[in-house]
Structure 1
Amino acid sequence: MAFRSPFAAVPRQLWGNATTSTLRSTSLKSLVSRGLATAVPPVTQNSVGSKGPTAMVFMNMGGPSTTDQVEDFLSRLFSDGDLIPLGRLQSYIGPILARRRTPKIQKQYADIGGGSPIRKWSEYQCEEMCKILDKISPETAPHKPYVAFRYAAPLTETMYNQLFEDGFGNGKGGRAVAFTQYPQYSCSTTGSSLNELWKLRNRMEGKRADGEVDQAGAIQWSVIDRWPTHPGLVEAFAQNIEAQLQTYPEDKRDKVVLLFSAHSLPMSVVNRGDPYPAEVAATVHAVMQRLKFSNPYRLCWQSQVGPSAWLGAQTQDTVMEYVKRGQTDLVLVPIAFTSDHIETLYELDLEVIEEANSPGVKRAESLNGNPTFIQALADVAHDHLQKGEPCSAQMTLRCQGCRSERCLEQKKFFAGKRLSSLVL
């Protein structure tokens, strides 16, 4: 039975090492006990126009840290028209759907330890990255870590208020980098987070009389909007795959099938021109190049819900079909996630792998606290800071079939004066 995540029975645009036995090394309880998410002292912005301090803001969907937070999480999620377009009554329908889904989703979070570890991993990753940035980019130091989740605490608005408290914006200026933790761009994930950030920026820092949103003393934003083939990201994935392949007998190792799994999208979103499928495929190809194409592989897609057509083939169906054909040595690789959350710990570990009922079906470790991955984050951020670009050129294009004025205006804002003419 495939995992029917919080969005089951509703059309959506969503994104959402090791087998279950390895969860002991990556669980929330383990992370907390090791004290990985330690607090970092605040940084005060005190020099308008200087290159530092720099706020580094990790953007992600987030997840409920406890089962008591599940309904609020689902309510925010179902109310997001960028993710799940439900029409004019969305603000009314969303909370109703959330309430109905809460008991089932609470049980799933209970089964993975009582909540999502995504906040702990995000805070740890961002803090560790900032420590490296302070060393390799002293001209933009100190770097202050922040996390902004779309549907769970800490929400984007909470993050923005914290920026104010720490001396950024509100007439004091300062630089902030919105760093998406979805390496591959989709309008449903990175796009939604940027729409929310843009909306709050306008509300909390205002506009000039002429309508410009570049008010003196406001936070100066730039965006790391995608990084699907960064060498450090590719290396981290490859190392985790190689580690899992070592658990197979040597004479079978090169015959193990690698199944890269990413969250699926409705075909309506794909046909609109969303770049996500192509960028995920680019990550997979880069990883296989690093592995010298040592094993047969396929890219498949997880978490299809509802009756509409979705991008396939589905991960659950792929695993069962290969096992039925006698190919029982498979390694699942969560290629679009930067840490464990419900779709790795529950869907892949507790549904797909258990249903396969074969000791040869395993999962590569998630990136989590991988030092190679942390270094990759720092390298991505350092490159961005050195270039001084507001965003990638790729972000200036809307999807071919996009008709959203909000998306258009958001892109113009983050592109800035230099690149805004490219926004179409």
Structure 2
Amino acid sequence: MSDQSIHRTSGRKVGVLVMSYGTPESIEQVEAYYTHIRRGNPPSPEQLKDLTDRYEAIVGGVFPLRENTDKQVKALETKLNETYPHASFVCYQGLKHASPFIEDGVERMAADGITEAVGVVLAPHYSIMSVGGYIKRAQEKASELGLKMSFVRSYHLHPKLIEALAIRVEEALSRFEGADKDKVLVLFTAHSLPEKILEMKDPYPEQLLETSRAVAERAGIARWQFGWQSAGQTGVPWLGPDLLDVLRTVKQENRAEHVLVCPVGFVSDHLEVLYDLDIEAQHTARELGIHLERTRSLNTDPLYMETLSDVVYAQAFAEER
């Protein structure tokens, strides 16, 4: 940035709404959380027990999940202000299904006198059904309050994100002691969405494949494929193949005894990682006689914080570049 540009941006205060799916803060809040996900329809006793059991199966219950997001928001604010001292960044949290909700975050920015803000989602890949929904809710509230707000839509090929994920793949491959690393099958995964997004020409599936290809190339991986996980039980078809089905197919076709899962669609430890992968997928793998490992989550990894800092700053000062 030129000296003239720095002079123009000096003293600018920018709000940053960091959005994510959200988790309950305690076991007692699981029912309200689940009801919100179901658009106000309370879950059946069986559905509630299933979700509660999943949270209770995780070491520490729900608490580390919420704490992870809190730490990411704080770390991003620190990174932004360290990297770009000529401006002032204040980060706020906005959750899709828990308090503080997305609208709450926007209202707090306005109440604090923020007049311009950037929204970013803790998910690198864009879908109209996921990130698009976050943006729509935030934009509607910002417009209502007269807050100027722009958004980061995706950052799935940011070099620092790819580097962070590749480092994790290389690190995890070392856990397959005695195995030929070239014979380890790397499975990249992300949260499934309803199949109807394909009719909408949604970029989500292709962006995920682009990230997977880039990470595989960076890490020197020859054997990899993509699978979906954590599909909802909604009565409509969801994107597949599901990770558990992939594991069964791999075993049936005798294609791999060692599998590394790299959940590129997720950026922190939460239910879809700590339960769906570490407990459910591990259980299936053990039954099949497959050695399954997964890569460490990004959480507050410095490279991930730099990724977010880069894209937020670029969005905030796009007009001056």
- TM-score w.r.t. the length of structure 2 is 0.88
Where 1:229 maps in the other structure, the secondary structure is coil
Distance 2:314 2:111 in 1: 28
Where 2:119 maps in the other structure, the secondary structure is strand
Q: CA deviation at 1:354?
A: 1.6
**Where does 1:246-325 land on structure 2 (aligned, <5 Å)?**
246-249=174-177, 252-292=180-220, 294-304=221-231, 305-325=233-253
Alignment match of 2:19 (pick from 50, 55, 59): 59
Cα-Cα RMSD: 2.1
Q: Does 1:245 align with 2:173?
A: yes
**Where does 1:19-418 land on structure 2 (aligned, <5 Å)?**
52-79=12-39, 94-97=40-43, 101-112=47-58, 113-115=60-62, 117-141=64-88, 143-168=89-114, 174-203=115-144, 205=145, 218-249=146-177, 252-292=180-220, 294-304=221-231, 305-326=233-254, 327-357=256-286, 358=289, 360-388=291-319
CA contact (8 A) 2:172 2:295 kept: yes
Letter in 2 for 1:246: S
Letter in 2 for 1:353: Q
CA contact (8 A) 2:190 2:229 kept: yes
CA contact (8 A) 2:14 2:316 kept: no
Deviations 1:216-255 (A, max 9, x none): xx32111011111111111111111111001123651121
Q: CA deviation at 1:51?
A: 5.4
Distance 1:273 1:267 in 2: 11
CA contact (8 A) 1:65 1:114 kept: no
Letter in 1 for 2:219: L
Q: 1:116 to 1:259 in 2, by over 3 A?
A: farther
Q: CA deviation at 1:98?
A: 6.4
CA contact (8 A) 2:15 2:91 kept: yes
Where 1:331 maps in the other structure, the secondary structure is strand
CA contact (8 A) 2:16 2:91 kept: yes
Letter in 2 for 1:302: Q
Where 2:43 maps in the other structure, the secondary structure is helix
Q: CA deviation at 1:66?
A: 1.3
Match of 2:3?
A: none
Distance 1:342 1:163 in 2: 29
Q: 1:102 to 1:232 in 2, by over 3 A?
A: same
Where 2:199 maps in the other structure, the secondary structure is helix
Distance 1:66 1:192 in 2: 25
Q: CA deviation at 1:77?
A: 1.3
Q: CA deviation at 1:257?
A: 0.5
Letter in 1 for 2:90: K
Distance 1:50 1:223 in 2: 21
Q: 1:106 to 1:388 in 2, by over 3 A?
A: farther
- TM-score w.r.t. the length of structure 1 is 0.68
Letter in 2 for 1:366: S
Aligned residues: 307
Q: 1:160 to 1:383 in 2, by over 3 A?
A: closer
Using the aligned pairs only, state the percent identity: 27
CA contact (8 A) 1:323 1:356 kept: no
Q: 1:388 to 1:97 in 2, by over 3 A?
A: farther
CA contact (8 A) 1:52 1:175 kept: no
Deviations 1:132-182 (A, max 9, x none): 2213222322x11211001012212321332234222xxxxx221101112
Match of 1:215?
A: none
CA contact (8 A) 1:256 1:295 kept: no
Where 1:138 maps in the other structure, the secondary structure is coil
Q: CA deviation at 1:303?
A: 2.4
**Larger displacement relative to structure 2 (235-244 or 116-125):** 116-125
Structure 1, unaligned runs of 5 or more: 1-48, 80-93, 169-173, 206-217, 390-424
Q: 1:98 to 1:220 in 2, by over 3 A?
A: farther
Q: CA deviation at 1:270?
A: 1.8
Q: 1:161 to 1:384 in 2, by over 3 A?
A: closer
Letter in 2 for 1:382: Y
Distance 1:228 1:355 in 2: 29
Distance 1:374 1:98 in 2: 39
Q: CA deviation at 1:323?
A: 2.8
Q: CA deviation at 1:50?
A: 7.1
